[in-house]
Amino acid sequence: MSQAARERVENPEKIIRKIEKDWFAKTQDAVLKKLRANLSLDDFTRLLFSLPQPQYPKLSRLLPTMAPIPVQIEWTGQIGEELLRASTAFARLVTAKYTELAPKPLQDVAILDYGCGYGRLARLMYYYTAPKNVFGIDPRAESIEYCHNHGLVENFTHSEYLPTTLPLSRKDFGLIYAFSVFTHTSKRATLVALKACRDYIAPDGILVITIRPAAYWDVAPDVPPEKRPAIKAEHETTGFAFVPHIWLPVDGDVTYGDTGMTLEWLETNAPAWKVCGTATSPDDVYQIIVFLRPV
């Protein structure tokens, strides 16, 4: 094993300190290049999730800083090592499957985080490609405000809840992912969003979404136990079930709640997409990861 490989395994903090002091690593791109070459995804994520840090003033200035803990809890319900493990597991699974399915290297395509929240997963994409290639949109204005306030500025934009178009300058994304988005959208919002994503993906691109299986309704925390069997039956019978939360309607539609759907419903009702693979989320057995190609 080489010295660099040993340090990557044994002493990531030493590597980070060295990059912090490296006079030649003066730009974001230069710092990211060195971090990618010398850190694992887990250690890269641990660093980004810990910034800002007083001992790393340069890295804290050049790289995105993390949202406050209350924001992390509100948006994901997780913090610390639990959040790190869930985030890296999703990023590793998605990027590995993309490499298997797509003809272009990930570093050569544009990536869109659809429903980016405060940018939790988007910043992990910096491990795979340059920041100029990473975009994020979210219908919650607060989400984009947090992105901008913490260094995710240039390509992160507010979108609509029922988007017929997306606020993006390009329509050739090689990878679009939407983690825990279609697990919360109404039927109308689901179909509108899938159509919008179709309009912005490259012909050979991959869309990654997550969906809830019927078994989710047995444990759905926001659904009263006495109502769960009927909702599960609706899911199994029609292929789609939605329980709205208390949420302001958008154009007469409450777009946010708890959602479950089958793969058959997805392919039948979104014929512009074809399922090309599935996986179970490593940290949530009730979150099925679905890989789609444009038709």
Say what the pLDDT of residue 6 is: 44
Q: Tell me if 189 sits within 8 A of 255, measured CB to CB.
A: yes
Pairing of strands 201-211, 173-178: parallel
Pairing of strands 240-244, 201-211: unpaired
Q: Could you give the percent of the chain with pLDDT greater than 70?
A: 97
- The per-residue pLDDT of the chain, averaged, comes to 94
Closest Cα partner for 206 from 274, 288, 269?
274
Say what the pLDDT of residue 97 is: 96
Domain boundaries, the chain: 3-62, 69-294
Q: Could you give the percent of the chain with pLDDT greater than 90?
A: 91
Q: Give per-residue pLDDT as tens, 25-40.
A: 999 999 999 999 999 9
Average pLDDT score over residue span 207-224: 96
Average pLDDT score over residue span 201-224: 97
Position 198 pLDDT exceeds 70: yes
Q: Give per-residue pLDDT as tens, 71-88.
A: 999 999 999 999 999 999
Q: Which pTM does this prediction carry?
A: 0.94
Band of pLDDT at residue 3, cut at 50, 70 and 90: very low
Residue 163 corresponds to which tokens in the numbers above?
Answer: 């988007």
Say what the pLDDT of residue 10 is: 61
SS3 track for the chain: CCHHHHHHHHCHHHHHHHHHHCCCCCCHHHHHHHHHHHCCHHHHHHHHHHCCCCCCHHHHHHCCCCCCHHHHHHHHCCCHHHHHHHHHHHHHHHHHHHHHHCCCCHHHCEEEEECCCCCCCHHHHHHCCCHHHEEEEECCHHHHHHHHHCCCCCCEEECCCCCCCCCCCCCCEEEEEECCCCCCECHHHHHHHHHHHHHCEEEEEEEEEEECCHHHHHCCCCCCHHHHHHHHHHHHHHCEEEEECCCCCECCECCEEEEEECHHHHHHHCCCEEEEEEEECCCCCCCEEEEEEEC
Fold topology of 69-294: Rossmann fold (3.40.50)
Position 9 pLDDT exceeds 60: no
Say what the pLDDT of residue 146 is: 97
Say what the pLDDT of residue 7 is: 42
Say what the pLDDT of residue 247 is: 85
> 138-147, 178-187, 241-250: which range is least confident on average?
241-250
Q: Give per-residue pLDDT as tens, 221-250.
A: 999 999 999 999 999 999 999 999 988 888
Position 55 pLDDT exceeds 90: yes
Average pLDDT score over residue span 5-9: 48
When comparing pLDDT for 238 and 11, which is higher?
Answer: 238
